[in-house]
């Protein structure tokens, strides 16, 4: 029985993880949950899974839930995420909270030498080098990626040596605007960007998919997770999203992980690794329904997020932090209709020009740089 804490249980990934547990109750047990604003759903989850620990995003809900569930130990706010990750009685920490706020909790989980089921891209993008040093220090800790692309690569690498790998190939659906020209993207609306053709995800990651910044983040994350140079990490459009990513070896054989577009599969693999388990909530891939698989190059001149990410990752140091923070601000502005779609790229580019590369040695430096970029973002467009 694996004991699991889910950070972000009311979000898309969190809800899927609870479906996995619901389908395999003899293998997995929920001991901790965290939610932010969706308190009604969090209440339902508490009533169903009976966790020992719960973190709530804000004080009023914390006070309310403490009264309703007096036997549960509650924590509050961002510090509460760290406190939840610092308890002893669990085996796996699923980090499904978006943004840089998940970094501290992930670090606490590593320091407790737990398995981290990583669903937070920003952790490895902004703090990858720091996290990798921690993993060397706390050798029993491990990270198993939940992101479908990195889970696919992780699976395709099993049983082979790193020196035999020629390249990693990250697939991309193309998002809501696949095939659009730059002129066509000038005046696209928020509601258009949120219409992903294949996946059901949160708003922020759906916009990242539309800009293809998500592929840029995934390139940086793959570099940090698997230790391959940026020249050995490629991306390709695969509109059907059946192949979740591939690994090409020196003999040009390619290992591809395939499956339906459902996050429950990589979530369960992160929970059960190295075993594979049956689960009634997992859907089989029916090849009679998927009669076509196509691949095509990505137009990086139109979708500039990939090139910007490669630049940030190759510079290293503080630049991936700048890239990530600027993108988060820009996406938030776009969702609030403060900027146009293509201005997301402009804001990232402006941030990378504004903040020169700095060496990063500590968590405090990471968080300080992240904060610095976000403060700059509040005034972007007014003085630039």
Please answer whether residues 325 and 351 qualify as being in contact, where contact means their C-beta atoms are separated by less than 8 angstroms.
yes
DSSP-H helix ranges across 74-199 = 77-85, 102-111, 121-137, 148-157, 182-185, 190-193
Task: Say whether 24 counts as a known binding-site residue.
Answer: no
Angle between helices 305-315 and 213-226 (to 10 degrees): 30
What's the token pair of residue 47? 């009533």
Angle between helices 39-49 and 12-23 (to 10 degrees): 20
Q: For residue 314, how far is the Cα from the chain centroid?
A: 20
- What contacts 93, CB < 8 A, 6 or more positions away? 4, 5, 7, 85, 105, 106, 109, 114, 115, 116, 117
Task: Say whether 173 counts as a known binding-site residue.
Answer: yes
What's the token pair of residue 352? 């990378």
Total Cβ atoms within 10 A of residue 65: 20
Task: Say whether 57 counts as a known binding-site residue.
Answer: no
Task: Say whether 311 counts as a known binding-site residue.
Answer: no
Task: Say whether 384 counts as a known binding-site residue.
Answer: no
Task: Say whether 191 counts as a known binding-site residue.
Answer: no
Main-chain dihedrals φ then ψ at residue 184, nearest 5 degrees:
-70, -25
Q: How far is CA 220 from CA 130, 158, 223, 296, 329, in A?
A: 14, 21, 5, 21, 19
Task: Say whether 174 counts as a known binding-site residue.
Answer: no
Task: Say whether 382 counts as a known binding-site residue.
Answer: no
Closest CA to 323 of 310, 334, 336: 310
Task: Say whether 149 counts as a known binding-site residue.
Answer: yes
Task: Say whether 9 counts as a known binding-site residue.
Answer: no
Q: What is the H or E stretch that residue 2 is in?
A: strand 2-7
Classify residue 180 as left (phi > 0), alpha (psi -120 to 50) or beta. Answer: beta
Task: Say whether 36 counts as a known binding-site residue.
Answer: no
What's the token pair of residue 190? 């928020």
Task: Say whether 120 counts as a known binding-site residue.
Answer: yes
Task: Say whether 82 counts as a known binding-site residue.
Answer: no
- Which residue has tokens 């996406």? 331
Strand partners, 234: 169
Task: Say whether 301 counts as a known binding-site residue.
Answer: no
Task: Say whether 189 counts as a known binding-site residue.
Answer: no
- What contacts 69, CB < 8 A, 6 or more positions away? 46, 54
Please answer whether residues 217 and 121 qualify as being in contact, where contact means their C-beta atoms are separated by less than 8 angstroms.
yes
Task: Say whether 248 counts as a known binding-site residue.
Answer: no
Task: Say whether 196 counts as a known binding-site residue.
Answer: yes
Main-chain dihedrals φ then ψ at residue 143, nearest 5 degrees:
-115, 125
Which residues does the annotation place in the binding site for 1-deoxy-D-xylulose 5-phosphate? 121, 148-149, 173, 196, 209, 214-215, 218
Which residues does the annotation place in the binding site? 10-13, 37-38, 120-122, 147-149, 173, 196, 202, 209, 214-215, 218
Which residues does the annotation place in the binding site for Mn(2+)? 147, 149, 218
Which residues does the annotation place in the binding site for NADPH? 10-13, 37-38, 120, 122, 202
């Amino acid at each position: 029985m694996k004991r699991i804490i889910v950070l972000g249980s009311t979000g898309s990934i969190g809800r899927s993880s609870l479906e996995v547990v619901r389908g395999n109750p003899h293998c997995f047990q929920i001991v901790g949950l965290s939610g932010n604003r969706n308190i009604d759903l969090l209440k339902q989850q508490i009533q169903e899974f009976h966790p020992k620990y719960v973190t709530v995003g804000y004080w009023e809900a914390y006070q309310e839930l403490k009264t309703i569930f007096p036997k549960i130990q509650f924590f509050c706010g961002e510090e509460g995420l760290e406190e939840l990750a610092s308890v002893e009685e669990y085996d796996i920490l699923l980090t499904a909270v978006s943004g840089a706020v998940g970094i501290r909790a992930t670090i606490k989980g590593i320091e407790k030498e737990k398995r981290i089921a990583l669903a937070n891209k920003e952790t490895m993008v902004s703090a990858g080098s720091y996290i990798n040093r921690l993993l060397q220090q706390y050798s029993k800790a491990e990270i198993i990626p939940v992101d479908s692309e990195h889970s696919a690569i992780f699976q395709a690498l099993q049983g082979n040596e790193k020196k035999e790998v020629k390249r990693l190939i990250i697939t991309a659906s193309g998002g809501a605007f696949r095939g659009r020209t730059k002129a066509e993207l000038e005046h696209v609306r928020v509601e258009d960007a949120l219409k992903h053709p294949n996946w059901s995800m949160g708003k922020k990651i759906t916009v990242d998919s539309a800009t293809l910044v998500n592929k840029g983040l995934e390139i940086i994350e793959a570099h940090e997770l698997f230790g391959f140079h940026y020249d050995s990490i490629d991306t390709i459009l695969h509109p059907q999203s059946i192949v979740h990513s591939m690994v090409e070896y020196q003999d040009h054989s390619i290992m591809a992980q395939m499956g339906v577009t459902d996050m429950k599969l990589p979530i369960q693999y992160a929970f059960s690794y190295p075993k594979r388990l049956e689960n009634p909530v997992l859907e089989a891939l029916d090849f009679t329904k998927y009669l076509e698989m196509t691949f095509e190059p990505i137009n990086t001149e139109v979708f500039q997020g990939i090139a910007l990410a490669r630049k940030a990752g190759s510079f290293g140091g503080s630049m991936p932090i700048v890239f990530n923070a600027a993108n988060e601000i820009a996406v938030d502005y776009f969702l609030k209709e403060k900027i146009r779609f293509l201005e997301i790229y402009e804001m990232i580019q402006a941030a990378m020009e504004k903040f020169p590369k700095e060496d990063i040695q500590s968590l405090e430096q990471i968080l300080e740089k992240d904060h610095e970029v976000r403060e700059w973002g509040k005034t972007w467009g007014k003085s630039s």
